Chains A and B, each alone.
Chain A
């Protein structure tokens, strides 16, 4: 049997060149993820999409699909690890959902609900990450950054501006902007940039439109993130960049 693999007992077809994640999402099988985005190349850093393939752990977003693979995804062991990864992200930054404009639209939060993360569990790092409100149209709140690099990739690949980059390493790794002053206002960043629209959490926020959608009608209020699987289906390369 060619071009089919198995995920938690369900058959998933794939086309050659697709990753396990791309094939699964296309087939309507949700795999939790944060650094994956349908319009960008796989990144493999958040590790939320970790699965076991033929008994061996792997990142499903970067692993090319192969015929006959036996993929485990929603097993208690793997769900437990994904939960720990979410908890790590929650304590690494300062995630105070009640004051966040992205609440209800945030993928980190939605995955927390999906995986029933009731507590950050680990000890909080409480890092000091000042916000950058210098830009006329956009606020940067680094407290919530999960270092998925989507804004970096969008700014480099789609906007051709390279507004964002990472500096530091390990637990001190952090987002920087392309200006000697370190201020977003001194870059050529614009609200219409692709990079302004890809943040899965509440770092890059348009000003003057906060809390526009009432509670109850927000993106992940009505249905859990796993029910939004069709929104994450990879865009064919020809169409990449079209979708907002």
Chain B
């Protein structure tokens, strides 16, 4: 065994809460760079691995805001298990698109969608205990748990994600210059 193989891989978990998986797709846009990345990292819970529960990790990357009770549970699971928690994308940072409902009363929304709307509004408001209840408003994740780093963008460009991860893995404070920081 050579020395490099002994060095433990950085363990990363990722998830999407109230998001569109667009940030995950953008991550995949690092293309062939994923191969050298896999030399130094391994994935825990993530849509890429299909692992359902997050174990102890070095880095947790969370896409999407917090719109329902399940999001809160998943976010806490990540916070409890990840040394470094990263908010990725506009939704995780400020609620993003899902938060565009925040000026409406949730009761009106549920009524409109499940009772009044001629398309689907017949079955009544779902009350199955299996379903997570929506929160009154959608919140960015830093309003629910402590977040260590933010990577803005809708989605952040693959190059920004690559720069961020390589900095982090190399033990540097991640730093994106002009052209890589985007809010859109």
Contacts and interface: CB of A to CB of B under 8 A. Distances in A.
Contacts of B150: 118-119
Contacts of A119: 87, 93, 142, 147, 150, 152
Contacts of B80: none
A120 B178 contact: no
B112 interface: no
Which of A100, A112, A113, A129 has the most chain B CB atoms inside 10 A of its CB? A113
Interface in A88-121: 90-91, 94-100, 103-104, 109, 112-114, 116, 118-121
Interface string A116-159: 10111101101111000000000000000000000000000000
Contacts of A57: none
A194 to B, nearest CB: 27
Nearest to B183: A97
B94 interface: yes
A76 to B, nearest CB: 14
Contact of A97 (B90, B95, B137): B90
A96 B140 contact: no
Interface in B154-184: 154, 176, 178-179, 181-184
A104 to B, nearest CB: 7
Contacts of B152: 118-119
B181 A126 contact: no
B116 interface: no
Interface residues of A, number: 30
A145 B143 CA distance: 23
B41 interface: no
B2 interface: no
B178 A124 contact: no
Given A98-B90, A109-B183, A120-B140, A126 B96 contact: no
B154 A123 contact: no
A33 B95 CA distance: 26
A90 B94 contact: yes
B147 to A, nearest CB: 8
19 contacts: A94-B102, A95-B183, A96-B96, A96-B100, A98-B96, A98-B97, A99-B100, A104-B184, A114-B178, A118-B149, A118-B151, A119-B93, A119-B142, A119-B147, A120-B94, A123-B143, A124-B143, A223-B178, A224-B178
A116 B181 contact: yes
B181 A124 contact: no
A15 to B, nearest CB: 32
Contact of B137 (A95, A114, A126): A126
A97 to B, nearest CB: 4
Contacts of B96: 96, 98
Contact of B183 (A94, A103, A126): A103
7 tightest Cβ-Cβ pairs between the two chains A and B: A97-B183, A119-B150, A98-B154, A128-B103, A118-B150, A97-B184, A126-B102
B12 to A, nearest CB: 19
A100 B184 CA distance: 9
Contact of A126 (B103, B154, B179, B182): B103
Nearest to B143: A123
Interface in A45-91: 90-91
Nearest to B149: A118
Interface in B84-99: 87, 90, 93-97, 99
Contacts of A121: 142
Interface in B53-95: 87, 90, 93-95
